[in-house]
Every structure is written in structure tokens, then in C-alpha cells.
Structure 1
Amino acid sequence: MNLAGKVAIVTGSGQGLGLAYAKELAGRGCAVVINGVNAERAERAAAQIRRDGGRAVSVAANVGTTEAARALVNGAIAAFGRLDALVTNAGNLRDKSLLNMSDEDFDVVVNVHLRGTFTCVREAFSYFKDAGIRGRIITIGSPSGQYGNFGQTNYSAAKAGIVGMMRTWALEMKKSGVNVNTVIPVAATTMTKAVPYFQKALEAEERGEAMPSFFRRELGFGRTTDVAGLIAYLVSDDAAGITGQVIGVGGDRLQLWAHPAPLSSDYHDGGWGYEDLQQYGAELFKPEKLQQVGATFPQLPPELQPGTS
């Protein structure tokens, strides 16, 4: 019960990863505000937590607007008297390749992920600063925002933007003692069910069995509950010295991501003109120096291939 007395908002927590985060927080004594677009689903999730002995209320709101952010913060204060942490988990998908992606497809994803993170964090930080609370903000990223992913222009851009905002906020919030970090979860969700590569892992989960070690260790892929412990830890007082970080977690693996930094620096007197680049470009940009685009997965062992018994 090391989070007793704390209050947290978890956006997009009516199901999936968000609900796993909320349950973990509540199980450790933290009161939680469950959020989702579907009011009935959000209230069911909150009621389940209450039945399990936790404290929870639901606030139905479509994350993205300032009004929704204020409703969430005000809901936490009205129900529990304060706010200590915000987890910006709300999200959606409209996957299409670039030429097939409409303005609406782009805007609706960026509005929820990027603008929704911005408005909710702004509202929470305003409260923390005025109330003198050394709060915790945990934004949710994705491997797609780190590597890119085919068909996810909107989602990848939003997730990369969240990391950029988080690093800026870590600087701006330091004086107030508010910590902000990004967690990159890798877990079995409804989004992974359609991916054949993960078939054996998902089948094991459905049977209530442990996932094969290959998925949990080599891929860092596991259950939603494997991510939730990190969320609770970052809310706790034990994580007081952690801010401005990108942390990946899934299965048996935890990763601390490097911040972007130059891989190499080359100098040329007078600058790099077109002719200079023609002369030296092959060496400057040789293939082994160029960076990976898109996540890559190791080959599945024969016994884990889709369709095998």
C-alpha cells in the first residue's frame, strides 16, 4: 500500500493497458480516476476496482480538448480532494499508408494522442504548481514513435511528438519538483491479436499459460500487467529522482532509451558544399553508418511459427 493517500488520473483506462495501470495503482492504495469515451465501460471498470477494495470514480470524456482535461482534473479533486499523478494513456488508431490517409485520419489520431497529452498535462501541471504538489506525469509512447512503422504516419508522428514534449516539460517542471517521463509499453492487446507473429504468445495467454520465453525475453513482449508495475513505481516516492526519461517495458525486459545524439561529426574547412559532399558523401553516408528504420523482429523458432501445433 505504498501509494496510500495518492490520487491518479489514467486516461483511456476503461480497458486494456490503461485498465491494467489503474488496477495496479489502486491495488497499491492509490485512488484512481478512470477515463474513457464510453461512459458505461469506464464506470464498469471503476466499479470493478471498488469491488476489489480500491477507490475509483469514472469520468467519461473524449481526451483532446481543454474542457475534457479540466473535467478530469476537477473530477479527481471533487472525488478525492487532490491530484498527485497523471498517466496519459488515451489513444486511437487510423492506420493507412500515406497516399490513403485522409486529413481526418491524421487529425483524429493526432488530436487524441498528441493534443490530448498536451491539454491533460497542462491542466495537471497547473494544478500541481498552484497546490505545491510534487506531482508525477507519465506519458505513453510507442516503438512506432521511436522507429517509425509502415501505415502509421499519424500515430508515429504523435508518439514521437509526445517524447519531444516530455523532454521539454522535464526542463520546465524541474523547479516545481514535478517529474515527467515517457513509458513505451510492449504488451498483448487487441491491436496485436491480428499480427500472426505473436500468435503463439497470444494463444498461451488465452489458455492462462505462461508465454514462451522467446517472446518475453527476446522481444520484451508480455501481458498488460507486466507494464503496470513500472507505472506504479514512477508514481511512487521511490522514483523522485527520475525525470525526462524514456523507459521501455514488456515481458521480462526493461529498457532505458537513449536520447537522440550525433553518431559522428565530420568537418570540412569552409563548410560542406555540394561538390564536397559529392566527393566525400560515399564515406560520410556509407550504409553501415546509417540508422535503422522500422522495428525488426528476430526469426521465430520453428516451434513458435504460426500454424504449428
Structure 2
Amino acid sequence: MSLAGKVAIVTGSGRGLGLAYAQELARQGAAVVINDVDEQVAGEAVATITGAGGKAVAVVAPVGSTETAQQLVKTAVESFGGLDILVTNAGVLRDKSLLKMTDEDFDLVINVHLRGTFTCVREAYAYFKENKVAGRIITIGSPTGQRGNFGQTNYAAAKAGIVGMVRTWALEMKRAGVTANAIIPVAATAMTKTVPFFQKAVEADERGEAMPDFFRKDLGFGTADDVAGLVAFLASDAAAKVTGQAIGVGGDRLQLWSHPEAVATEYKDGGWSYEELVERFDDLFGERLQSVGEEFPELPAELQPEAAGAK
């Protein structure tokens, strides 16, 4: 087993993607600290791992605070003797268009996703550095953070921020031999279940059937288990040279996302005045402006949502 003797923390791992990550890490030999806000859900997640012969304990606490981050690391060390892997998966959604989004909607999503990632990584890295552990930091991004999405100001900001932190951490942690990467998963979860575009795929998954190839291949949309293999790989010694990357995975598709780069550059002696920009901007950049949002191919007729008002 590639992770035998390793210890991992997976936040938000009571169900869904987080549980799939935790189960795969355990299957590869790691002892796992499960985290959820629901004690029963966390206990059931632990049972799925220990029942299969693995090692797991639970920390029931909301991610975001330094106190929870400290509790997670302390539990890993006290229960299993150390820490090697951190997967920051915990998240919530409060989707609303900008004018309907409240301060509370914004703050909650930022606190769990962005601050929760920051506090947990800071605590784990402190342990790695003090104990000379070549640890693995695996964070969770989203296509929304890469491209934007209507009604997700808070979520887009958090997920884009996570990838930005990963690039910075890759620089800061290099000397310590610690890697930091972001996964961009696309999978059937409670978060995607309500999206009509993915209805047929999610329904197939719930029936235990294979998803149609259109979803798995054309959209790169699959199951939670399709993502878990990448988590285990990035946690392993085989990925020791992979750091600072955003890697997309879903269905049958694996993607390496680019870092932001300038797509066009122009110079003018003396700089660019307002008048010069008014006169020349469209000619210089008009045809090279970047698109926003994800662009999906049209659903085949047989995969269209069945509900009359679902489109």
C-alpha cells in the first residue's frame, strides 16, 4: 500500500467527496482523521473505514477557526503518532446573485472554504516543519474559482483564493520538502445534484449505474471515487516533485490548469493616457478579451432534464 504508515486529516469528510478521499487514503494504508460538524455522520464515516480494516478517528467541529485546526492536528498526533497529509475539503454553499447576497452569506462561505483552508494548512505546516516531515497539502478548488459562475460571488472568491494560496505555499514550503496542490474536481455530489444540466448523470450514479459517456468524457463529470485516486497520488511519494499546481479531475478526464499569464502585451513610449486607451484599446485587445464562465456543449436530446421547468 503506497501510504502505509502515513497519517492524514481530511476536513469535511463525513460524506460526499471528502468521504471518498478519506476512504481511498485509508485503502492505500493511511490512518485518517475524519472531520464533520455532524457527530453521527462523522461516526458512520469512521465505521466505513474501520469496518474495512483501516484506521480512523473523528473530530466533530466546524472548520474555520484556529482552534479547530489545532484540534485536528493534535488528534492526528495523539491518535496515530504523527501527521503526513492534509486534505482541506470542508465547504458550504450560500448561492445568491450579488444584490441578494448578504454579509452573512459571504462571510460563512469565506470562513469555511478560505479561512478554514488557511488555518488548517498553517497548523499542519508548522507540524511538518518542526518535525522535518515532507508533508503533503492537498486543497480543493473548483471550476467556479477558475472561470467564475453566476450566483457564486462568495464561492468563486474562496476557491480562487485557495489556488492563489497554493501557489504561494509551494514557494514557501519548497525548502522543507512539503508540497501544496489544488484539485479542481467535477463530480456528482449534493452540491451538483440540484443542477438540471447534470440530472441524468446524478440519477444514473444514484441507481448504481455507469454515467453516460457524454458526461464522463465530454464534460469530465463523474463520481466522487473518480477524484479520490488523484488525492491519493498527490499524497504519495510518487508526487514529491508536483507542487503549486491546479489539477482538474472528473469522470474519464484529467487536466492540468494553467497559471494566469498575460495573453497580449503592448508598449507605448511615455505610458498609456486615457485618450490613447480610448483610441486604441479595442484595436489592440478587442479580439483577445478573455471569456468568463464555463462553456458546456449542448446536452444530447436523450440526456435533457425530464422536469418541464428544469431547464
User: Match of 1:139, as an amino acid?
Assistant: T
Q: How does 1:100-139 map to 2 (within 5 A)?
A: 100-139=100-139
Larger displacement relative to structure 2 (296-305 or 150-159): 296-305
Residue in structure 1 matched with residue 162 of structure 2 by the alignment: 162
How far did residue 17 of structure 1 move?
Answer: 0.2
Deviation string 1:254-277 (CA, Å, 9 cap, x unpaired) is 000000010010011111101111
Deviation string 1:174-194 (CA, Å, 9 cap, x unpaired) is 000000000010000011111
Residue in structure 1 matched with residue 202 of structure 2 by the alignment: 202
User: 2:224 & 2:121 partners in 1: Cα distance?
Assistant: 23
Larger displacement relative to structure 2 (40-49 or 108-117): 40-49
Pairing 1:278–2:281 present: no
User: 1:205 & 1:41 partners in 2: Cα distance?
Assistant: 21
Q: How does 1:1-309 map to 2 (within 5 A)?
A: 1-286=1-286, 288-307=287-306
Larger displacement relative to structure 2 (225-234 or 274-283): 274-283
User: 1:167 & 1:213 partners in 2: Cα distance?
Assistant: 34
User: 1:203 & 1:38 partners in 2: Cα distance?
Assistant: 26
Deviation string 1:210-245 (CA, Å, 9 cap, x unpaired) is 111110011000000000000000001100110000
User: Match of 1:147, as an amino acid?
Assistant: R
User: Match of 1:252, as an amino acid?
Assistant: D
Residue pair 2:264, 2:285 contacting (<8 A) in 1 also: no
Residue pair 2:215, 2:222 contacting (<8 A) in 1 also: yes
User: 1:28 & 1:282 partners in 2: Cα distance?
Assistant: 54
User: 1:268 & 1:173 partners in 2: Cα distance?
Assistant: 39
User: 1:229 & 1:54 partners in 2: Cα distance?
Assistant: 17
Deviation string 1:275-301 (CA, Å, 9 cap, x unpaired) is 111221121231x31111111110011
How far did residue 29 of structure 1 move?
Answer: 0.6
User: Match of 1:305, as an amino acid?
Assistant: Q
User: 1:110 & 1:299 partners in 2: Cα distance?
Assistant: 33
User: Match of 1:135, as an amino acid?
Assistant: G
How far did residue 207 of structure 1 move?
Answer: 2.0
How far did residue 119 of structure 1 move?
Answer: 0.3
For the residue of structure 2 that corresponds to 1:180, the secondary structure is strand
User: 1:301 & 1:40 partners in 2: Cα distance?
Assistant: 41
How far did residue 307 of structure 1 move?
Answer: 2.0
Q: Give percent identity, aligned residues only.
A: 68
Q: Could you list the structure 1 runs, at least 4 aligned residues long, displaced by more than 6 angstroms after superposition.
A: none
How far did residue 58 of structure 1 move?
Answer: 0.4
User: 2:200 & 2:103 partners in 1: Cα distance?
Assistant: 37
Structure 1 gaps of 5+ residues are: none
Residue pair 2:12, 2:36 contacting (<8 A) in 1 also: yes
For the residue of structure 1 that corresponds to 2:70, the secondary structure is helix
User: Match of 1:296, as an amino acid?
Assistant: E
For the residue of structure 1 that corresponds to 2:200, the secondary structure is helix
How far did residue 25 of structure 1 move?
Answer: 0.5
User: 1:12 & 1:170 partners in 2: Cα distance?
Assistant: 23
User: Match of 1:137, as an amino acid?
Assistant: I
Work out the number of aligned pairs and report it: 307
Question: TM-score normalised to the size of structure 2?
Answer: 0.97
For the residue of structure 1 that corresponds to 2:215, the secondary structure is helix
User: 2:84 & 2:164 partners in 1: Cα distance?
Assistant: 23
Say what the alpha-carbon RMSD is for the aligned residues. 0.9
User: 2:109 & 2:198 partners in 1: Cα distance?
Assistant: 25
How far did residue 305 of structure 1 move?
Answer: 1.5
User: 2:197 & 2:278 partners in 1: Cα distance?
Assistant: 42
User: 1:22 & 1:284 partners in 2: Cα distance?
Assistant: 50
User: 2:300 & 2:40 partners in 1: Cα distance?
Assistant: 43
How far did residue 109 of structure 1 move?
Answer: 0.6
User: Match of 2:2, as an amino acid?
Assistant: N
For the residue of structure 2 that corresponds to 1:57, the secondary structure is strand
User: 2:83 & 2:93 partners in 1: Cα distance?
Assistant: 29
